[in-house]
Amino acid sequence: MQNPTPPTGGGTAPPRDCHLTQDDFTWLSDFVRKRSAIVLDAGKEYLAETRLSQVVQKEGIESISSLVRSLRKGDSRKLEGAVIEAMTTNETSFFRDLKPFELLRTEVLPALIEARRSTKRLSMWCAAASTGQEPYSVMMLIDQHFPELRDWKVDYLATDLSSDVLAKAESGIYSQFEVNRGLPAPLLVKYFAGQGGRWQVKPELRSRIRFRAMNLIEPWPPMEPLDIVFIRNVLIYFDQPTKSAILGRIRKLLRPDGVLFLGGAESTMGLDDQYIAVRSQGSTYYRIDAGSKK
Ligand SMILES: C[S@@+](CC[C@H](N)C(=O)[O-])C[C@H]1O[C@@H](n2cnc3c(N)ncnc32)[C@H](O)[C@@H]1O
């Protein structure tokens, strides 16, 4: 494919040849889909070129065609990983979309806490956690509004395919711009320490989340039955059979009264009919239909 426009913005000239032939794009789409389930439809050539030119630059490779040639030869796992990571979209923010967090605070957690009073255990999973704003938002909410849970065993696993974003999540370090996106000032003051213009989540909160690399289309490690699953704004990148398969696997892990949160543009409809949508306060979460076979 010929693309006369430089892929980088702001008038910066692309440092190296950044064109992707149609044949290479077709091969790349197939490679990315098999490794991550991310669908690169026709029309996404420009996006692929932009992302690949970042890898080319970082790895000091001559051109996109050389990069694809190496990938096709299959002789570098490291390069393969870098390309897959580059193809992920990691957009996120603190308390993204807000309403699901309101539902968590006012409906979901109060009911689950009541139901688990005898065991004092809660198990949560944030799949596709990206740079960590989502699991930290949940943890801040829990700490602020449910202090009794400090005496409970609350297991919170946060996973993502990309080790780059996970490393950032684990460090808990955010720029001023990132904390300005969705994080109320009182929470910034309470849960973060300022350091040289950046902000780090305090160790006490960080240590309550287990960050792990995990590809949703590969076998999952053994997991305890789950009470709450956040898998938001990732299924949207996958094809229908992959979405159905992942929703089915989550359903098998959810406790009968467990709750699933999806992104605002995502739904179980037409993908898994054993979930029911619970609409409340202008938002939606999902439960397993009690009449379903599981
Ligand atoms: C747009 S972010 C969503 C972040 C957060 N859940 C939110 O809603 O703000 C999508 C994340 O999904 C991850 N992802 C993409 N494909 C994946 C896969 N096959 N397995 C696990 N994570 C994947 C990406 O690395 C990225 O961090």
Residues 6+ apart with CB under 8 A from 119: none
Q: How many CB atoms sit inside 10 A of residue 275's CB?
A: 23
Q: How many CB atoms sit inside 10 A of residue 243's CB?
A: 22
Average pLDDT over the chain reads 93
How far, in Å, CA of 144 to CA of 140, rounded? 6
Q: Sketch out the chain's domains with CATH numbers.
A: 22-87 (1.10.155), 99-173+203-288 (3.40.50.150)
pLDDT recorded at residue 17: 66
* For residues 207-236, average pLDDT: 97
Q: Tell me which residue has its CA closest to atom 24 in ligand 1.
A: 88
Evaluate: CB of 92 within 6 angstroms of ligand 1: yes
Evaluate: CB of 204 within 6 angstroms of ligand 1: no
* For residues 62-86, average pLDDT: 94
Which of 234, 242, 261, 262 should be mutated for ligand 1, with most atoms under 8 A from CB? 234
* For residues 184-202, average pLDDT: 96
- Range with lowest mean pLDDT among 148-162, 262-276, 280-294: 280-294
pLDDT recorded at residue 152: 98
pLDDT recorded at residue 293: 56
Evaluate: CB of 233 within 6 angstroms of ligand 1: yes
Read off the pTM: 0.93
- Range with lowest mean pLDDT among 29-38, 69-78, 110-119, 203-212: 69-78
Q: Tell me which residue has its CA closest to atom 9 in ligand 1.
A: 92
